[in-house]
Structure 1
Amino acid sequence: MRLTPCHGVFAYVANYSSDSISVIDTKTNTVTTAIPVDDGPVYLAVKRDGSRAYVTNFDANSVSVVDLGTNTVLKTLTQNDGIGQRPYGVALTPDGSRAIVANQQSGSVSIIDTGKNVVIKTLTGDDGVGTDPSLVAVTPDGSHAYITNQGSSNVTVISIRKAAVTGVITEGIGDFPYGVAITPDGSRAYITKATRTQSSVSIIDTRRNTVIRTLTSSDGIGDLPLGLALTPDGSHAYIVNRNSDSVTVLRTRDDRVVKTLTTDDGIGDEPIDVAITPDGSRVYVTNQVSGSVTVINARNNRHIETITSGIGGSPFGVALGGGHGMPHIG
């Protein structure tokens, strides 16, 4: 099958130890530039039209607002602007009007009005946010955000319109929930979890906000699953397993593992995050220790290439923007 490049789509990689964002042209899989940001960038979310990125800077306690037309920082939101301590996960609503930031150390969630680039609401533990909130996903209709809380081993559900917590999912979540991704129809949320004794993925029915199934290593989940992303059609989930240096390919129709990509398939040392192009043709995996990005052909799950030139130190989160469709949000 011939692979068609994604014209006008860029992959953006947060380089934790280089304090920069690498910009990858997915047509050529080359880094075109590096954007300096604040200290310790970890995750980022990109507007679907590719115009802006919101970058969480873990060490600086800030969020960088980046103009992707000029590849420059427009504004840096700090604690004085309402960002909490150790901002980590971030997600945008589909219309790009709100950015939801999980502040890990302060146990809070900041909601940013992206039109004015101001924090309009901060939700805390008193409002129902859990301990050590980590990653964020927004439902396709933009109504709710799901936030994993590693410390309290639960998932917070927020109404974005009301800027209020509407639910906390605890039963069936298990210890240390981390990654979260929601199916394109909004019916299910996939949650990665990892402890010293067991690595697993729980599946939430978002209509009832209950866990309906948990997949473990016996089902093919790798060691220490972290980031995950769903294909635009929702048919497959790609789950990165940090300790086993692998990526699990899960068929969501029956939640069966259909492929495990390993170092033999080009996966690097300690993969941490994953994103998929809007047309579903390519998968981008950040390998933190290798300092590289692996590109996979999603049509046949074969290695295309590994990008090292232009990738900064400790590549962490990855997001895609431009073209058409829904970008991955970390």
Structure 2
Amino acid sequence: MNRRIPSFHFAYVTNFNDNSISVIDTRTRKVKATIKTGRGPFEIAVTPDGKHAVVINKTDNTAQVIQRSTNKIISTIPVGKSPSDVGTSPKYVYVTNAADNTVSVLCIKKRKVIQTLKVGKRPIGVTVTPQKIGQRTLGFVSNHDSNTISIFNAKCNKIIDTIPAGVGPDQIAFTQNSRLAYVTTNNNVLVIGTRSRRILSKIKVGSTPVGVAITPNDRFAYVGNEGDNTVSVIMLKKNKVIATVPVGKKPGIVAITQNGKFAYVANFGENTVSVIRVRDNKVIDTIKVGNAASGLAIIPL
């Protein structure tokens, strides 16, 4: 049987106000397809095997599973109230529900919620470590209004710890070796040791940082600063900002291409995606997408 294998050269952008996803070919930097979704698509993630993408619809309180080989929605799954972010592991998909202080655990194979985790107030970001910490794969959930991070075991999906996380923690990114977590907070990025579960450093960035993404070689982090229309570039070796890149209006979520050469930035206030070349931190392209580009995902390593 001839099976279509999904390409790994695509970025998925959620367009909150027109209920769609723009699919960008990262080789040509052109929109190749548009997928209609439920109401208020807010964030999106791709499963580690690259076979599926999962979008959360904030207005509908649903998650939708997309078959990447066809770019077709194959399932719509009810989740909690006001879903705000989505993260993936090899077995599960995690959705933060900001209005009811929970995380929905989805099984892609069964296409349903199999568990609900109680976390802190107004959970926003959720990310799972790429590698095991000791014997466990961990998930971090940022509780924006509790100023904490809930940590769960991603094998049994149980909360194992809650730690302080500055003021208003938002998005989370792990280094590829999973030793460090970078968390956007109120005008800072916190560096948290995943073993010690302690704040190791605090890095001043731009105004209202939202998204954070780390290059595959663990050299740089890119932070979207919604409040001043910039991206801060952090050198991880020194935990120091080495460049500030002007982009579009209200930049939020950031994603890095697999080859580590480009950072894609969703500009919520401008309906565009800025493409930053990593080697010199120059914006080399601005791609027009749908209305209110809120979320962004590129196929993971």
1:228 lines up with 2:212 in the alignment: yes
CA distances 1:258-285 after superposition (whole Å, capped 9, x unpaired):
11101xxxx1011011100011011100
8 Å CA contact 1:8–1:27 kept in 2: the answer is: no
The SS at the match of 1:174 is: coil
CA distances 1:147-182 after superposition (whole Å, capped 9, x unpaired):
101111100001011210001011xx2221101111
Equivalent in the alignment of 2:264: 284
Equivalent in the alignment of 1:36: 36
1:257 lines up with 2:241 in the alignment: yes
1:190 lines up with 2:182 in the alignment: yes
CA distance in 2, matches of 1:141, 1:301: 28
Query: What one-letter code is carried by the residue in structure 1 that aligns with 2:180?
Result: R
Equivalent in the alignment of 1:46: 46
1:318 lines up with 2:257 in the alignment: no
How many residue pairs are counted as aligned between the two chains? 291
TM-score in terms of structure 2 length: 0.94
- In the TM superposition, structure 1's runs of 4+ consecutive aligned residues that sit over 3 Å from their partners are none
Q: 2:103 aligns with which of 82, 106, 109?
A: 109
1:174 lines up with 2:166 in the alignment: yes
CA distance in 1, matches of 2:111, 2:236: 36
CA distance in 2, matches of 1:18, 1:155: 32
CA distance in 2, matches of 1:202, 1:18: 34
Unpaired segments ≥5 residues, structure 1: 1-6
C-alpha spacing 1:8/1:153, structure 2 compared with 1 (3 Å): closer
CA distance in 2, matches of 1:131, 1:112: 21
Query: What one-letter code is carried by the residue in structure 1 that aligns with 2:152?
Result: I
CA distance in 2, matches of 1:320, 1:49: 12
Q: 1:211 aligns with which of 185, 199, 214?
A: 199
Equivalent in the alignment of 1:24: 24
Structure 2 counterparts to residues 20-169 of structure 1, below 5 A = 20-78=20-78, 83-93=79-89, 95=90, 97-124=91-118, 129-141=119-131, 143-169=137-163
The SS at the match of 2:74 is: strand
CA distance in 2, matches of 1:299, 1:111: 38
Query: What one-letter code is carried by the residue in structure 2 that aligns with 1:77?
Result: I
CA distance in 1, matches of 2:233, 2:243: 5
CA distance in 2, matches of 1:39, 1:261: 32
Q: Please identify which structure carries the higher strand content.
A: 2
Percent of residue pairs bearing the same amino acid type = 33
Equivalent in the alignment of 2:4: none
The SS at the match of 1:169 is: strand
TM-score in terms of structure 1 length: 0.86
CA distance in 1, matches of 2:193, 2:181: 7
Q: Which has the higher contact order (CA 8 A, sep 6+)?
A: 1
8 Å CA contact 2:48–2:88 kept in 1: the answer is: no
8 Å CA contact 1:287–1:293 kept in 2: the answer is: yes
Query: What one-letter code is carried by the residue in structure 2 that aligns with 1:303?
Result: V
* Pairwise CA distance, 1:8: 4.1
The SS at the match of 1:283 is: strand
The SS at the match of 1:275 is: strand
* Pairwise CA distance, 1:205: 0.7
CA distance in 2, matches of 1:183, 1:300: 21
Q: 2:230 aligns with which of 229, 246, 249?
A: 246
* Pairwise CA distance, 1:49: 4.1
